Amino acid sequence: MTDIIQCVRRTKDLDTITALVLAEPRLLDDLIETMLHDTSSLKYRCEKVVRAISESNPEQAYPHFDRLIGLLDADNNFLKWGTIGTIANLAAVDSRGKFDALFDRYYAFVAGPDMVAAAGVIGNSWKIALAKPRLASRIVERMLAIQKARYLHKGKLSPECRDVVIGAAIDSFAEFYGSIEHRQPVIAFVKKQRKNSRPQVAAKARKFLKRFAVA
């Protein structure tokens, strides 16, 4: 076990680990190796550090893009959910168009049945849309498709789970509304949610419409 992984095991403050890795980029490789191959709970702590680095210094994590995308298919949901956020963070520095090639695979989560994965993709979509404006229209189309998505909770179809993802969509649309070329479908979607059975979602819809002065 390398020194940095020993530190991850001993140190509760992951901000300290993140600072160490930011100062010494080669250490990131050890964290990702642990995520990919370790069978203990240590891999979850490593994932949190990798995600933090992708947010604060995406250039440092970008060379590991290809290895990280493999975790989108992980049997371990916690690694998959975290990596969804990491990939979105890396879109800002994606000079090689790696995300463009990944687009369909990434947005396949929106259809279900995993609500958390779908909410992660939807909730992080604004980062991708702002980083890659040419993809904004495709992103909007995929986000609006949640209206037909089917999410499961304890093996049963759950409309409530879809409402949670709809709430994430409203928040995300608000973050890149200025980059949306054809806004009418988004406005219609949000207006419909004013009557959402989940009070929090209905409140988000009203706030969105007021913020953007939509009658």
What pLDDT is attached to residue 29?
A: 95
Is pLDDT of 213 > 90?
no
Cis peptide before 113 (omega within 30 of 0): yes
**25 CB contacts (<8 Å, ≥6 apart)?**
60
Is pLDDT of 74 > 80?
yes
56-78: average pLDDT? 96
- How many residues does the structure list for the chain? 215
Q: How far is CA 57 from the centre of its chain?
A: 17
What pLDDT is attached to residue 1?
A: 66
Query: Tokens 């998959």 appear where?
Result: 80
Query: Tokens 């409140």 appear where?
Result: 203
Average pLDDT, the chain: 96
Partners of 153 in beta bridges: 156
Is pLDDT of 215 > 80?
no
What pLDDT is attached to residue 12?
A: 84
Distance CA 111, CA 113 (A): 7
What tokens appear for 191 in the block?
Answer: 């207006």
139: Cα within 13 Å, side-chain hemisphere: 28
What pLDDT is attached to residue 3?
A: 87
Q: Each residue of 107-165: pLDDT tens digit?
A: 999 999 999 999 999 999 999 999 999 999 999 999 999 999 999 999 999 999 999 99
- Structural domains in the chain (count): 1
Q: What is the CATH number of the domain that holds 43?
A: 1.25.10.10
Range of the domain at 81: 3-211
What pLDDT is attached to residue 58?
A: 98
What pLDDT is attached to residue 149?
A: 96
Q: Each residue of 11-50: pLDDT tens digit?
A: 889 999 999 999 999 999 999 999 999 989 999 999 999 9
90-98: average pLDDT? 97
